[in-house]
Amino acid sequence: MTDTTTHTPPKASTPTSVITSRSLATGLVLAIILNIWVTYGTYILHTSRMSVAHLPISALALFLLVTFVYNPFARGISQRAAFTGRELALIFCILLISSLIPGKAFVSYFLTIISTPFYFAQPENQWAELFHPYLPGWLVASNQNNAMGWFYEGLPPGGTIPWSPWIIPVAWWMSFFAAIFVVGACVATIFRKQWVEYERLTFPLVQVPLELIAGDQSPGRWPKLVYDRLFQIGFGLALSVALWNIVSFANIVPQLPVGTFFETPLQLSPMFPSIPLRISPYMLCFGYFINVDILLSIWVFFMLGLLEIGALNYIGLNTASSGPGGSGGVNAQFFGGFLVYVGYSLWAARRHLAGVLKKAAGRDAGLDDSGELVSYRAAVVGLLLGSAFICAWLYQSGLSLPVMAVFLAFLFILYFGTTKVIAETGVVFLDLPVNAHQITVLSMGSGNVSASSLTSLGLASAYARNWRGLGMGSVVLADRLTDGFWPRKKGLLLVLAVTFLVSMITAVSYTIQSGYSTGAYNFGGGAFGGLNIDYYDQIVTWMKNPLSLGQNEPWFMAAGAVIFLVLLKLRHWLVWWPLAPVGFAICFASNIRDSILSVFLAWLVKFILLKIGTGAYRTGQRFFLGLLLGYTLGIVLSFFADALFYPGQGHMMHDW
């Protein structure tokens, strides 16, 4: 059973410009606020991590500030003072791109790589003798005059921030990240028509902001959702639970078992891994907008994977290893499915890609690119130039050409595959199935990779762990969101690129300043107090130990590839077949496992409502939107509670 109801943005006449000065200014100001807010909350307050999602709660909260606070107030003065639907769409796109950067999403990886290797080098860890000779000086910050020591420990009284050791490495890394962003945006442009018009992917994550924009643009001062009883019930329920748990900070009342506060491991048998039972309101609410077959597939394949692990353990086949996903055969099997998912996606788009190349070459291929972010010719040129810069940058960092080819292939597969999964499924919490630099070393064998290349791959922790693909997925969502508002998107990509750069500069500079003020050792999240050392210890492990894929992993990956192809054929041949192949490809991702109970509950509720009728499902949307917005407000209030009463000892009510 499938549901096909989606909210389509209203058709609009072609405007003379995509962008208005007030919406651009508002969006960029909010982008700066978002980066400072999330950085302060994560590192200084140790409160909820508000950047960990493909549509983060930080972006949603600030967008709600515009739609539910500013616009009603502005309409009380003049209808013209309120933002239009087009302007709201632009503001949301800016917020979505800006949320790529602060905290765990990006900065926690990036700045730890820059600041760690010299300050933390000790005779015991052998960093100096093993990989210091191969570290590019233009990519890491020197500890000369204790510059990094003060960053981690805090400046002495009267000290001034030594910015000079940071400037060169930050500038070179930012140029690299900008190139990845441009390449991702070009890929998004090339594939938009294939995914939207030919494959008709539903982009469930876009449905939430579209519903909010549609509600805001209805007649009346307030968004129409405010007057809906089901919305009010959902909003009140979620906010009440959040307020109760905020009060529990003071140990006045017990915590309610909702969110990251409460997790119960369910152990079916000693042979089976435990199932984490945790209710994630954020995952539950967005899960309601996911296709019911995809929800079913995720939890069914997850349970089958657990049964498979138990069966393998029972017969004595140990599946633990250093392979894809870190737990061996079964994870390797699902990664094999992910690889085929990406390969089939490219194969299915072959005719469209051929048409894009013809269009870019100046031969009329019958493709209209007037509604794209840029022309197909500009997209292809941008893709080629950006890729050339990335290759040159990596080569100068010490990565050999053969290793680079394997690494970039894996990086593209993971970024592209995750982007399409998000477009197709709308799963709000989704990490990469593996990290590109790690699977590169395991595939080639660490003993077959030079020390210089291993060091360069170790530095790749700054971006190869980034589950949001450094913007590819967010650009795809922003592009889809604006489809119905602007048939011509001239200038939109430039705005998104400027937002990316402004957000990087804001978050990086504020994080560095915060480190010298309070000491990065004291930052929340663990990135600057342990994980950073692990990233570099991994290089030592690669150099001192011959690591490669386990003996059974390639066979499991091959089996996963075959299973995915069989599922694909069953989906095409049998119209009643309920299991979507994409569920097989992502069901064992770490944060899917942590949210599996929420996925199951979303499927159960949606399945029942669809059995009643499509009208019941549409009615239920208002309740879940209320639940989502009430939960979002509750997390924002928990931030202020931590800021006022528990600075530095915050409470993580929201995480993935």
Side-chain-side CA neighbours of 115 within 13 Å: the count stands at 32
pLDDT for res 234: 96
How far is Cα 538 from Cα 461, in angstroms, rounded to an integer? 10
Residue recorded with tokens 């680079």:
404
CA 636 to chain centre: 20
The Cα-based distances of 549 to 219, 342, 430, 555, 561 in angstroms read 61, 21, 24, 11, 17
Enter the pTM of the model: 0.93
Domain residue ranges in the chain: 21-645
pLDDT tier for residue 530 given thresholds of 50, 70 and 90: confident
User: Pick from 540, 558, 507: which is nearest to 41 by CA?
Assistant: 507
The overall average pLDDT reported for the chain is 90
pLDDT for res 593: 86
- Residues 425-484 have pLDDT tens digits of 999 998 888 899 999 999 999 999 999 999 999 999 999 988 888 889 999 999 999 987
Other C-beta atoms closer than 10 Å to the C-beta of 533 total: 17
Helices 85-98 and 492-518, packing angle to 10 deg: 40
What percent of the chain is modeled with pLDDT above 90? Answer: 72
With 60 as the cut, is the pLDDT of residue 11 above it?
no
DSSP string, 97-160: HHTTSTGGGTHHHHHHHHHSTTTT--TTTTHHHHTGGG--TTTS---GGGHHHHHHH-PPTT--
pLDDT for res 365: 66
pLDDT for res 432: 85
pLDDT for res 318: 58
With 50 as the cut, is the pLDDT of residue 248 above it?
yes
* Torsion sign (Cα): 423, 630, 99, 103: negative
- Residues 549-592 have pLDDT tens digits of 888 889 999 999 999 999 999 999 998 999 999 999 999 888 88
pLDDT for res 320: 55
